[in-house]
Amino acid sequence: MAMTVKQMMEAANAAVPRITPAQARDMMAKGNTLVVDVRDGSEVQQTGKVAGAVHVSRGLLEFRADPEAPTHDKNFSNDKTVILYCGSGGRAALAGKLLKDMGYDRVYNLGGFKDWAESGGAVEK
């Protein structure tokens, strides 16, 4: 059965908890955490990214996250806590659902980069 974008977003938001910048900072401080920016490259160039984050455009995520893929990014490991963000949280939610479907258990949606930056979160250009 075909799904609408609205239905996909509802499923993603139900599967991937939304966290605040403060909660993300706490998780990052504990270690074994991967922060992933799923925005397009041009967005990252304009604003920078969360300090220490890995940039993987949403369209390439499964190819970087799958350890069996020849394009696997060694930063991805399903024993890590994964925090995703994008421009407003929509792509991060969908990306988080994808990672959950791939066997990643501890996946969280930080929402939008702007929320992080406005909260005083560290940014690197």
How do residues 13-41 score in pLDDT, each as one tens digit?
Answer: 999 999 999 999 999 999 999 999 999 99
Which residue, 91, 87, 82, is CA-closest to 112?
87
Beta-strand relationship, 107-112 and 81-86:
parallel
Count CB atoms within 10 A of the CB of residue 52: 11
**Would you state the pLDDT for residue 31?**
95
Using 50, 70 and 90 to split pLDDT, how confident is the model at 111?
very high
Q: Is the pLDDT of residue 1 over 90?
A: no
CB burial readout 60-77, b (16+ within 10 A) else e? ebbebbeeeeeeebeebe
Q: Which two tokens stand for residue 41?
A: 């490259």
Percent of the chain with pLDDT over 90: 98
Which H or E run includes 85?
strand 81-86
CB burial readout 20-31, b (16+ within 10 A) else e? ebeebbebbeee
Q: Quick check: 116 and 85 in contact, CB under 8 A? A: yes
Q: Which residues pair with 33 in a beta bridge?
A: 81
Which residue, 38, 21, 20, is CA-closest to 91?
38
Q: Please provide the distance, in angstroms rounded to a whole number, between the alpha carbons at the two ends of the chain.
A: 43
**Would you state the pLDDT for residue 57?**
97
**Would you state the pLDDT for residue 70?**
97
Superfamily of domain 30-124: Rhodanese-like domain (3.40.250.10)
